[in-house]
Amino acid sequence: MKKTLILMIIAALSCAVISGLTRAVQAQQKEGAKSIELPVMAFDLADGPDRDKAQGYCAVCHGVEYIPMQPKLSKAQWAATVTKMIKVFGAPIPQEDADKITNYLGTAYGTGK
Amino acid sequence: MNNPCALSSQFLREQEGREKEATMGVRSVTRRQFLRAAGTVTAMTALGGMPFDVLAAPYERRLVRFPEKTDLILLTSRPPQLETPLSYFKDSITPNDAVFVRWHISQVPTSVDLAAWRLKVGGNTDKELQLSFDDLRKYEKVSYTAVIQCAGNGRSFFDPRVPGGQWKNGAMANVTWGGARLKDVLNAAGVKAGSVDVSFNGLDYGPLPSVPDLVKSLPTDKALEEDILIAYEMNGKPLTMLNGFPARLIVPGWYATYWVKALSDISVNTKAFEGFWMNPAYRIPDTECGCIPPGSKPGRTVPINRMSTRSLIITPGEGETLKANRPVTISGVAFSGGYGIKDVIVSADGGRSWTQASLGKDLGKYAWVQFSAPWKPAKAGSYTLMAKATNGIGDSQPFEGLWNPAGYLWNKVQPLAVTVK
């Protein structure tokens, strides 16, 4: 089981490297027009209960790397962040899932307070 | 289900579809699509497969390469936020491919056809303009060098820490901008009496219709100042896509939150513009220093505006090992919010004694100036280097980091540790 997981991770990583290389091409410049292709990068959130809810909902609007980039925040700060995503940015996350995401973030990326 | 490549190419196709919709000006993701996407992730995870956005890559500050850019430090990939390694600040002018990248919402423009691009200028004006790129270039061209700096540059040094983009010192650059005066364009449209502010929108938009579009505003009298540009050149070349191709606003001396990228609409308003990115975002406490006691809550706030005076030692680098009795040069850059730099002093003993640094070529009041001071450490040991700049009207830098809840205006005299052997 663990071996399969490791193999999948390796496969996923090499896939990402290859697709990153082919897609991170320099801007195509033709007469009067410019076009670029952004590399697609993906990150895995830390293990924990309801991790998949955080991974799924947050990634719809932004890279989940926003989360591990933050300093360790209190549960109240994470709750305020999740509320901001719903109230200000309109993320349609049901309250039940929002609570689970807040608990997950407060534990996996929080001060524990 | 077990093929992450297949999943990621499915994701890429979806992404491409969204981009195509974007060029047609269609808001891309509906509520149903959002729920479907979120549901797909959950369902795939439940089935033991890998969700499209999951790859067991741990997050760290590492170098990544984006189109038209050199290797920059990754903050986030979607939207792109990339920081400049400090070594590029050894040069007076920051090369285009090394200039930092900061977008707010994920649907960033990736394709612009200049034949179709128009800059709309309207609202409370005598007439509405629809400027083509050629029209814009017919206005008198102005160019000068100015520091572009993110409002949150240095946020990761705040104590207590604050949420937001965790920039170190690399969200800044010194660039020679070229373009038309905003004033000339506004006067061509004819700003009518009763105008209170001017708002600016770009081609980027949110991943959901509910995400507030990035629109910024300037008071009318500020917008009509001489030096604000609609720039279409950086360092004599077209803007890079990620720095705002084909044209962006330049508000020299003010933080880059106002320097709207990939400009598409300018609106002169009779009622103050009150979008999310003006209020409550990008505001500072209405106090003399823009700061409040660490950890406290601000009372009245105002939109962030002029940059604080800053300096940064670039060489030697943090943690570098030097040789005793070997002369070195302490050098770096200093700038202010449009008042130039009067002097920079440097210390090699943690601020106990100071010497005057010499200043390099003056590229104007909006540019940074390079400073340097010779130093010959006599004995082995640990040393703390510091630089402190004073701007043209006497404002300087604090020894303790000022604090505000959004992590703006960082300009502490930053200690830099080196070892002498």
Write out pLDDT tens, residues A75-85: 999 999 999 99
Can you tell me the mean pLDDT for A32-44? 92
B47-51, B110-114, B308-312, B373-377: the lowest-pLDDT one: B47-51
* Cα Rg, chain B, nearest whole Å: 23
pLDDT at B34 over 60: no
What residues of chain B, 371 to 390, have a C-beta less than 8 Å from chain A?
A: none
Q: Exposed (0-12), middle (13-18) or buried (19+): which is B274, by Cβ within 10 Å?
A: exposed
CB pairs under 8 A between A and B: 188
Please say whether the dihedral angle defined by the alpha carbons of residues B312, B313, B317 and B319, taken in this order, is positive or negative.
Answer: negative
Does this complex have an ipTM over 0.95? Answer: no
At B90, the amino acid letter reads K
pLDDT at A18 over 70: no
CB contact under 8 A, A35 and B68: no
Q: What is the pLDDT of residue B36?
A: 45
Query: Which band of pLDDT confidence, cut at 50, 70 and 90, is reported for residue A113?
Result: confident
Q: What is the pTM of this model?
A: 0.86
pLDDT at A19 over 70: no
Can you tell me the mean pLDDT for B14-27? 35
Query: Which band of pLDDT confidence, cut at 50, 70 and 90, is reported for residue A28?
Result: low
Q: What angle do CA A5, A10, A15 make, to 5 degrees?
A: 125
Q: For residues B280 and B294, what is the distance between their CA atoms, to the nearest angstrom? A: 20
Interval B376-391: pLDDT, tens: 999 999 999 999 999 9
CB within 8 A of A86, min separation 6: which ones? A92, A93, A98
Q: What is the pLDDT of residue B57?
A: 62
Strands B263-269 and B248-250, sheet pairing: unpaired
Q: For residues B3 and B14, what is the distance between their CA atoms, to the nearest angstrom? A: 17
Query: Which band of pLDDT confidence, cut at 50, 70 and 90, is reported for residue B311?
Result: very high
SS3 (DSSP) at B233: strand
What residues of chain A, 80 to 109, have a C-beta less than 8 Å from chain B?
A: 81, 88-93
- Mutate: best of A10, A17, A29, A35, partner B, most B CBs <10 A: A35
Q: What angle do CA B339, B136, B100 make, to 5 degrees?
A: 50
**More confident site: B350 or B57:** B350
DSSP 8-state assignment for residue A48: -
b/e per residue B251-264 (b: at least 16 CB within 10 A): bbbbbbbbbbbbbb
What residues of chain A, 63 to 82, have a C-beta less than 8 Å from chain B?
A: 63-66, 68-73, 77, 81
Can you tell me the mean pLDDT for A28-38? 79
pLDDT at B49 over 60: no
Report the gap between the CA of B242 and the closest CA in chain A (Å): 9
Q: What is the pLDDT of residue A30?
A: 54
> How far from B222 is each of B41, B47, B188, B247, B420, CA to CA, in Å?
47, 57, 17, 19, 49
Query: Which band of pLDDT confidence, cut at 50, 70 and 90, is reported for residue B99?
Result: very high
pLDDT at B92 over 50: yes
Q: What is the pLDDT of residue B61?
A: 87
Interval B152-176: pLDDT, tens: 999 999 999 999 999 999 999 999 9
How confident is the prediction for chain B on average, in pLDDT?
89
For a pLDDT cut of 70, what percent of chain B falls above it? 86
State the maximum Cα–Cα separation within chain A, in Å, rounded to a whole number: 57
Can you tell me the mean pLDDT for B325-353? 98
Q: What angle do CA B252, B254, B258 make, to 5 degrees?
A: 95
Q: For residues B192 and B366, what is the distance between their CA atoms, to the nearest angstrom? A: 30
Can you tell me the mean pLDDT for B109-133? 98
pLDDT at B192 over 80: yes
CB contact under 8 A, B76 and A63: yes
β partners of residue B331: B315, B372
Interval B270-310: pLDDT, tens: 999 999 999 999 999 999 999 999 999 999 999 999 999 99
Q: What is the pLDDT of residue B51?
A: 36
For a pLDDT cut of 90, what percent of chain B falls above it? 86
**Residue corresponding to tokens 């926003």:** A66
Query: Which band of pLDDT confidence, cut at 50, 70 and 90, is reported for residue B407?
Result: very high
Query: Which band of pLDDT confidence, cut at 50, 70 and 90, is reported for residue B247?
Result: very high
At B386, the amino acid letter reads M
